[in-house]
Amino acid sequence: MKSLAETVASILSWNPKYVEEPDYDRRGTAYKVASEKIAKSDAGEGSVNFALAILHLADYDIRNATDILSGSMRDMALINMIAVIRRFSGTSDSGLVLARLTPLVKQGLKSTLDAVRIVYVAVLGEIVDFYRTHALFRELVFLHYPANRKAVNAERCRYCNGEGILPDEAAHLQDDTQGRARCRCYNVDLDVFENLRHMQKHRVGGALHDLAKWCADGTIPVSTVLQYFLPFATAHLCNDQYVGDKYQGVINAVIELVQAVASQLTWPKYEPLLKHFLSLMTRKPVYSKQLIRVVVAIVDAFHFDLSGVDVKNARLQKAPAGKSESDPALGEMVEEVKEGEEDMEVDEAPAAVPAVGGPAIDQTAPARAEKIYRSLTLFMIPGLSKLITDKSESDNSHKLTANVHAAEKEEILRAPVALAIVKLLQKLPVQILRRQIPGVFLKIARMLKSRLLSVRQSTRDTLSEIMLSLGPSYLVTLIKELRGVLKRGYQIHVLVHCVHTILSKLLPVVKAGDLDRCVGEMVLICHEEMFGELAEEKEVNELTRKIAEARNIKSYDTYAILAKFASPGVLVKLIKPLKEKAEETQSHKVAVKLEKAFRQILTGLLRNDQLSEKDLLLFAYALYDHSTGLFGDPKPKQAVVTAPSHLDRPDSFLIAREPGRGGPAAVTSRKTNDYLVQDFGLQILLSCFKNSRLQTDNLEHTDMLDPFVPVVVHCLTSRHMSVKTTALRCLIWMLKFKLPSLDAAMEGVVKTLFVHLKNYSGPGAAVSENAEFVNAVYKALSSTVRDATAGKISDKHLKVLLTYAESDLREGTKQILAFNLLKAVLSRHLLTPELREIMLNLAKTSIQGEEENVRQQSRHLVYLFMTTYNPKKIKVREFTELYKDNLEYSLEHGRLVCVTMLSDLLGAGRMGAGFNEDNALPFFQLFAARLSDESSGVRHKAAESISGILGKAVGSELMEQIFKWTQRWLLDEDIAVKRIGFQTATLFAQVEKVKLIPRLKLILTALGKVIRVTEFLTSESAMLDYDHLLINALSLLANIIDHCGSDIWTVETAVKKLKFIFDGVRDLLLHEHEWVRIRSLEVYWRVFQQQPPQRLAENVLLAENPHKKLSLLAGALINQLKSYSDRDDYYELWSKCVLYVAQAVSCFLNAPGVVTDDVVDEKEEDELEEDEVKKEEEEEENGGAVQVPANRLINSPFVVRGVCREAVFEAVHEPKRTTKRLQVMKWIHCLCAAFDREAFLQFLPSVLQVLYRCTNEPSAQNDGELKRLTEEVTGAVEAHVGREIYADAMRTVILQFSKKRAERKRQQAVEPILNPAKAARMKIKKHLTRKEAKKRKTQDRDLELGRLVKKSRPR
């Protein structure tokens, strides 16, 4: 008892220096001692009492932890709870411990705090591990081994069969970091308990999804899920922490689990679960969408068969007051359900047989079904209906005094309730649903009359969900009810918008033909919106400003949806009202609306899978040819009604009647807007071509297209430009088909095209609508030249076309049309003198043109002309000389085109076979461009061209000749020439690869002279040129190591030179130029990739005194982190190299026979740290360079500490920047994977200092990426070293920081007394800084308001 009292007093101790702060150090020690006592104690009453006391204290600390130190206490408490579970499992006291522990676990899993729930999930996992024979937890053992349960019997573990094993059952066990024994088939990434407490929420969602699946198929008893997993899951609902798309996966999994549980419950448990979430809908309106999904999921899981209910003879009398047919006292769900039922505005459900403590009544299946039916029809559904129809508080108030916001909040809650009503009605017999659904629609439709937009929007969303549930078969009923309620004023705008919204939401479930019954009603609604009074109201700005539904015309999209799902029989019903409107009116405004409606209908028709090509073509032909009678006889023109003759009396007024407009009335025709219908039919035909619904090799399609030839040819001469344009586009596609009628009419078509070309292609004619028509004419002529088999283009026509093409090329606005026409001519290999002259001008345009696309098109045509025509006939040498002469063109783009063209011609072999006198000159000119051109783009393009040509010339004399040039360049004193030599040698390395090794002697010598330079450059320009030379040299070295592979290390002369070179590369790691540092890292990483750190002895570069070289390299790499960079590849290479060095140092020191006397030990490290503290102020000014101690070598903890020090330095001195901390966090994550647990424990103190800084610094918390990465790395480190070790070490780090912070505050408090001069200087500096900040803030504010505030003029 004394020991228990002392332990309890220590666990509850408080810091004597700071009264409000617990004594964390003493509490942590007490927990650790208690854990040891529990593990070593013998079974007995005293030990059990001690363990139970510790258990309750741990539970208290877990629930009341608030800050990070309390969080460490939570970890220690968890360790003690686990110790109690392990110690008493299998003993006589296990039942007592479990009886005390399970209530704590159940309460903890219901907590609203994530940290508490996560801890108790871990406790539950331990209980399942050590009490696996218990009846309640036997079925949960497989959750540690879910992979085996998912596999078939043949794939399960042959040792445990997927059920896990006891620690003493077999020898094939592996020990995890928590001290448990596991079967070898165990995988921590698949463990459900580990995933439920994982910081990555998508893994939590995956675990809940698996639980839902196993609960649905009966693998896990539903009672267990109700007690443990469902409270944990539902804590994510209605929670501010899980709002947003980021947590949508978790919410979906929770709803899936609730549905799976509901599908397994009996009615006495199902009913209160449904009531609970229904009550939350009224209490938490902010989460109405989320709760509606939960309620819908529960109703979807309604698994009770009501088919045996006699609807006519069912007893529907309400139960007497005070009696209840269902007792909701069901385990842990009772309190929550009762709380929910207190606020629900529904009557009490009919009484059922008590679940416990009452006499059991023998009920047959029909009796139970009738009871459920009565509960739904008498209580649930009427109660929910009452929520919709009840008056709100504002309804009884005057409109001037009513609280609009309160009314809005109440009415928004009503609409979603209707969805729950419909879901419940669907579970009843069909005749009940059909009888009740119109009433539900009527109630919802009345809510659409609300003046509040939010209420109407909520109602529309609910209606959409209801129709998705019911299906499109009830759409007719809905529209009927809506039209009956929404009859006047703004309500009709709401009706149109609502119908469109519902149709849009129904798209995933509607099939072709489902909307045929609604076409008539919807066309009337759309017609009224487009051409009725609604159309005029939409033009009134005051009305559209008040009514959001009146701002847009939704009928166009509605027409598209109707056309998408219309069957062939209702197409006429869909189009006929629009066609009649076109015949009735001559208004341009109406014509524009009709054209837009036809366009939307066309879009829907093309997406209609039910309409075949034959249906579309027949419908298109009927739109043009009225003789088919598809649309019936046109309406007769209404006769003018004249007054009877006896009423026509003379004017008796003294003042004469105002004279009206004289003359005959304007002549009107019914065919004024017929062109809209014709154009619509041609658009259907054109769309069939574009969507590849008509195939050239299908004879049936050819036969169906032939009757359209006279239609298209006739439309080419139409008076309306849109009809002619569409007809031309159809003609372009028809030329690809073998149509007899088209071959016969081709001569007339060609003449018509040239007439149009003459009329509309003149200067200034191709504007507005004509421009599109002219484009179509050019495309038609191009297709005629390219595809026409009959009516070939004559020479005269060809000259005319080339004349137009030449003029268009000069004009500039129609160059693309001319290019297409020339492509068609070149594809037929037609040749005239005019064509050659045009191509020569195009060659000049490709160099001198101002626009990029014009130059590319011109170059492509010239290249096609030079490579497909006979070189002698077209005199190709003249084109070649043109491009060679312009390699020194004044503008960059011209030189780039010349380089590209010469490269393409050399690659195509159009300049002679082999490298003879004809093509040697342009090839060497490419080298000249690579060497001396001032543009980097031209140089890079020349390099690509040379590399491609060298790849084809490997092993030839050309390679030897080029390498001789390269030698001269490498030995030249000029830096620019030497850069060209390095760049050319890089191309050799990429092309020749291993074959370059015999040439390495000269190359490596040149590299050594550049990299190990001893000269001192004074001028800035010389330093910049030399930096670029270093970049080229390091790139060459990296390519040599990469492409020559491991063969280079077998050549002694090359290895000797490489050792000399790499001493300079190590110095370049700290070069001031960022690109030089990146290239140096790249060189080292290429070497490290070839040899892993475990084979350090085989690394030739580090074979001599490897530890010293690694120490120097590590110091350079750590110091490299002191500079910032915006490039991710820089930090990625740095991270890889530092990790490799740390691994290499560790492997070297652990190798047998290695003497470690010169290695810095822990004591010397502490002394060094004390020296660093004395020079802290100087280091803070300069960032502090990492120096390897004299005559001492480093180890891997030294490397890790140096890297972590940079992250801590940034957190303290540059908190607004997080670059270094982000990179160090990523590096620590890689460090966990690279080192085993024992080795990583050496780095733990340094790593935890960084984690603590990144967890508690305000700047780190404001950076979302750093915060997320810190949480992930923390979880990885904790899993790697073990929870107990991590908690111990973190507590030590926190206490160290707390002591330092307290000491710093104390030092600041006594500073004015001990050093008053320094304190005064600091105070003055602080005041000046504050004053400057205030002044700067005032200036910024004045600048912002300077444009708004006018200065007053002086008097």
Is residue 28 within 8 A of residue 73, CB to CB? The reply is yes
The mean pLDDT of the chain is 77
862-873 pLDDT, tens digit each: 888 888 888 788
| Chain-centroid distance, C-alpha 1079 | 33
Q: Is 1250 helix (H, G, I), strand (E, B) or coil?
A: helix
72, pLDDT greater than 80? no
Alpha helices in 1235-1315 (DSSP H): 1237-1240, 1244-1256, 1258-1262, 1264-1281, 1283-1314
Residue 598: its pLDDT value, please? 92
Question: Hey, which residues does 182 pair with through a beta bridge?
Answer: 174
Q: Cβ of 3: how many Cβ atoms within 10 Å?
A: 13
Residue 279: its pLDDT value, please? 81
Residue 169: its pLDDT value, please? 46
| Mean pLDDT lowest among 72-81, 485-494, 1137-1146 | 72-81
What percentage of the chain exceeds 70 in pLDDT? 77
Sheet strands (E) in 583-669: none
186-208 pLDDT, tens digit each: 777 788 888 888 878 888 888 88
Residue 155: its pLDDT value, please? 58
For 183, which DSSP code?
E
512-543 pLDDT, tens digit each: 888 888 888 889 989 888 888 888 888 888 88
Q: Residue 759 is encoded by which pair of tokens?
A: 């009329």
What residues contact residue 375 under an 8 Å CB cut-off, 6+ apart?
271, 325, 326, 349, 350
Q: How far apart are CA 264 and CA 266, in angstroms?
A: 7
991, pLDDT greater than 70? yes
Confidence of residue 982 (pLDDT cuts 50, 70, 90): confident
Q: How far apart are CA 791 and CA 750, in angstroms?
A: 8
Amino acid residing at 847: I
Is residue 778 within 8 A of residue 820, CB to CB? The reply is yes
Dihedral (CA of 840, 845, 848, 852) sign: negative
Q: Which of 1007, 1071, 1064 is nearest to 1040 (CA)?
A: 1007
Q: Which residue has the higher pLDDT, 29 or 445?
A: 445
Total residues found in the chain within this entry: 1355
Mean pLDDT of 940-958: 73
Locus of tokens 């659409």: 448
Is residue 902 within 8 A of residue 884, CB to CB? The reply is yes
Q: How far apart are CA 653 and CA 650, in angstroms?
A: 9
1181, pLDDT greater than 60? no
Give the CA distances from residue 374 to residues 352, 367, 369, 527, 695, in Å, rounded to whole numbers and listed in that order: 12, 10, 9, 46, 63
Mean pLDDT of 598-604: 91
Question: Hey, which residues does 1159 pair with through a beta bridge?
Answer: 1193
Q: Residue 515 is encoded by which pair of tokens?
A: 């909307």
Q: Which of 862, 905, 902 is nearest to 884 (CA)?
A: 902
Is residue 1249 within 8 A of residue 1293, CB to CB? The reply is yes
Locus of tokens 């444009």: 1347
Q: Is 321 helix (H, G, I), strand (E, B) or coil?
A: coil
What residues contact residue 454 under an 8 Å CB cut-off, 6+ apart?
408, 412
H helix and E strand count, the chain: 62, 2
Q: Residue 275 is encoded by which pair of tokens?
A: 């009531």
654-704 pLDDT, tens digit each: 787 777 776 666 666 667 778 888 889 899 999 999 888 888 888 888 889
1212, pLDDT greater than 80? yes
419-474 pLDDT, tens digit each: 878 888 888 878 888 888 888 888 888 888 888 888 888 888 889 888 988 888 88
Q: Residue 75 is encoded by which pair of tokens?
A: 């970890």
377-431 pLDDT, tens digit each: 777 777 777 767 765 555 555 555 544 444 555 666 677 778 878 888 888 878 8
Is residue 724 within 8 A of residue 716, CB to CB? The reply is yes
Mean pLDDT of 1074-1103: 83
Is residue 737 within 8 A of residue 685, CB to CB? The reply is no
Residue 170: its pLDDT value, please? 43
Mean pLDDT of 82-90: 68
Q: How far apart are CA 266 and CA 279, in angstroms?
A: 20
880-912 pLDDT, tens digit each: 888 888 888 888 888 888 888 887 777 655 443
Q: Residue 727 is encoded by which pair of tokens?
A: 């007809």
For 618, which DSSP code?
H
Alpha helices in 217-247 (DSSP H): 222-224, 230-234
Q: Is 1159 helix (H, G, I), strand (E, B) or coil?
A: strand
Residue 601: its pLDDT value, please? 92
Please list the helix, strand and coil fractions of the chain in percent, rounded to the nearest 5, in that order: 70, 0, 30
Residue 928: its pLDDT value, please? 67
276-307 pLDDT, tens digit each: 887 887 778 778 778 878 887 888 888 887 76
Q: Which of 202, 125, 426, 421 is nearest to 302 (CA)?
A: 426
Q: How far apart are CA 1131 and CA 1124, in angstroms?
A: 9
